[in-house]
């Protein structure tokens, strides 16, 4: 069983409800320090740890609510003898408590919105890595090396799967100049180049680009990367920096 088949089991494993063959397989992957499953289980632990903060507010059961109200009424009767100045002090204190509670509620609401945004980003990032691993590990994917004549420039790897799509990866790739971007092209055997997406390396020069090329690998002659104005271009405007033949 590969990592892609186990990805749906990460949350169940963290919650302690995973059983049978799936549990045995996942434990085997973790014992081998599988980077995909280890990261997936780590992400699942973080997600599960945040579930408590995402629970929606609920009304208390009727019996508890009734008991609480009865208790308040009973206390009001016992305190009815208190003078007006004492009630004024209590009212002022309650106003302060209410103001603090409102501020805490707004702060909690802001924290909840930030958490939801982080969870959304994490979910999207996790799905990207899952797709990338599926493409790179599939025996049906074609591996392509893009090389360059520029000194000290890294080689770039691509994996093309007719069903899953095109994956481009790189490490220590230099940043393009300001207001410029890298653009990946599929060079067909006949016709004009087809854009397969624009990208920027991260702060460490890492690249992970997923694309769904609008052509078949059988009709492609090469992959190429050019340096283009920000936003990309319909057709290349510069000489390719990296080229990877498919033959």
- Assess whether 78 and 188 both reside in one domain: no
pTM over 0.85: no
Write out the H or E segment, with its range, that includes residue 210: strand 207-211
- Assess whether 16 and 29 both reside in one domain: yes
Question: What CATH number should be reported for the domain holding residue 207?
Answer: 2.60.40
pLDDT, position 85: 46
Long-range CB contacts for residues 232-237, cutoff 8 Å, separation at least 24 = 232/181, 232/183, 232/195, 232/198, 233/183, 233/195, 234/195, 235/192, 235/193, 236/183, 236/185, 236/193
- Cα(92)–Cα(86) distance, integer angstroms: 10
- Assess whether 59 and 158 both reside in one domain: no
Domain count, the chain: 2
Average pLDDT in the 175-184 region?
95
> Which two tokens mark 68?
């609480």
- Assess whether 33 and 120 both reside in one domain: yes
Q: Summarize pLDDT for 18-67 with one digit per residue, the tens.
A: 788 888 888 888 888 888 888 888 887 776 665 544 444 545 555 545 55
- Assess whether 148 and 128 both reside in one domain: no
- Assess whether 161 and 83 both reside in one domain: no
Q: Summarize pLDDT for 192-233 with one digit per residue, the tens.
A: 999 999 999 998 899 999 998 878 899 999 999 999 999 999
Domain containing 38 equals 1-137
- Assess whether 24 and 98 both reside in one domain: yes
Q: Is 119 exposed, middle or buried (0-12, 13-18, 19+ CB in 10 A)?
A: middle
H-assigned helices in the chain: 3-6, 10-15, 20-31, 35-50, 62-78, 84-137
Instruction: Give the β-pairing of 220-229 and 180-188.
Output: antiparallel
When the pLDDT of each residue in the chain is averaged and rounded to a whole number, the result is 79
- Assess whether 9 and 129 both reside in one domain: yes
Final residue belonging to a domain, choices 113, 137, 161: 137
- Assess whether 127 and 9 both reside in one domain: yes
- Cα(186)–Cα(209) distance, integer angstroms: 14
- Assess whether 126 and 39 both reside in one domain: yes
- Assess whether 147 and 219 both reside in one domain: yes
Residue 13 has, within 13 A of its CA and on its CB side, a CA count of 25
- 155: pLDDT confidence band, cut at 50, 70 and 90? confident
């Amino acid at each position: 069983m590969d990592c892609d088949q186990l990805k749906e089991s990460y949350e169940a494993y963290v919650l302690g409800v995973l059983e049978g063959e799936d549990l045995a397989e996942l434990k085997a992957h973790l014992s081998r320090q599988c980077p995909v499953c280890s990261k997936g289980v780590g992400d699942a632990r973080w997600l599960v740890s945040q579930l408590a903060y995402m629970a929606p507010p609920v009304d208390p059961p009727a019996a508890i609510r009734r008991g609480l109200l009865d208790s308040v009424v009973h206390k009001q009767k016992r305190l009815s003898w208190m003078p007006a100045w004492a009630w004024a002090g209590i009212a002022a204190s309650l106003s302060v408590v209410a103001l603090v509670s409102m501020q805490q509620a707004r702060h909690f609401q802001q924290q909840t919105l930030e958490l939801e945004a982080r969870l959304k980003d994490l979910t999207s990032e996790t799905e990207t890595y899952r797709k990338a691993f599926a493409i790179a590990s599939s025996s049906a994917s074609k591996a392509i090396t893009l090389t360059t004549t520029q000194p000290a420039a890294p080689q770039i790897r691509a994996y093309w799967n007719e069903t899953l799509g095109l994956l481009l990866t790189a490490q220590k790739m230099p940043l393009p100049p300001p207001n410029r971007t890298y653009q990946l092209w599929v060079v067909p055997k006949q016709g004009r180049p087809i854009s397969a997406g624009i990208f920027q390396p991260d702060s460490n020069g890492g690249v992970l680009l997923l694309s769904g090329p609008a052509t078949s690998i059988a009709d492609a002659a090469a992959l190429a990367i050019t340096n283009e104005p920000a936003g990309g271009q319909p057709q290349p405007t510069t000489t390719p920096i990296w080229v990877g033949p498919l033959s």
